[in-house]
Amino acid sequence: MVSRTISRLMIVGGVLGICGAGLWWREFYSEVGRMIGSSELPVECLYRFGGTCELISEAASLVTSSAYKPGLFWVSASVLLAGIILEGFPNGEGNDVYLTRERDRDYRPRERDDREDPHF
């Protein structure tokens, strides 16, 4: 039960974090676009470190304190993925497919009755 709750919280947190990163990215690059006179938003800067994205971010950080960094996106995506993976694990309540039959829960050794010679 605890693992299901944690995995679902991780999924919700990951989705909210990705949405937050997307809003932060859109707000930051919209302002940068207004400053340089461009309406095109660089989508690759949502998830990419380095290159022109980092150059733009570092240059804009001199003017504004809310320069976008893709770390939030990647942490949120990792939490989301971990939550999805945890959701697939058995929850420990004993109702999983491989433990649903009563005979599977009985681990005592049994006599074989398919042999012809009982003293074998």
Report, as an integer, the average pLDDT of 13-25.
95
Report, as an integer, the average pLDDT of 76-100.
73
| Cα 90 from Cα 82, distance rounded (Å) | 15
CB 81 within 8 A of CB 22: no
Query: Is residue 98's pLDDT more than 60?
Result: no
Spacing of C-alpha 120 from chain mean position: 56
Q: Where are the beta strands (DSSP E) in 23-114?
A: none
CA distances from 28 to 76, 108, 113 (A): 19, 65, 75
| Cα 92 from Cα 86, distance rounded (Å) | 12
Residue 70: band (very low, low, confident or very high) from pLDDT cuts 50, 70, 90: very high
pTM score, two decimals?
Answer: 0.67
Q: What is the pLDDT of residue 83?
A: 92
Q: What is the pLDDT of residue 91?
A: 62
Of residues 87 and 18, more confidence is placed in 18
Selection from 61, 56, 64 nearest residue 38 by Cα: 56
| Cα 20 from Cα 70, distance rounded (Å) | 11
pLDDT, one tens digit per residue, over 29-56 is: 888 888 778 778 788 888 888 888 888 8
For the chain, which residues make up each domain, given as ranges? 2-105
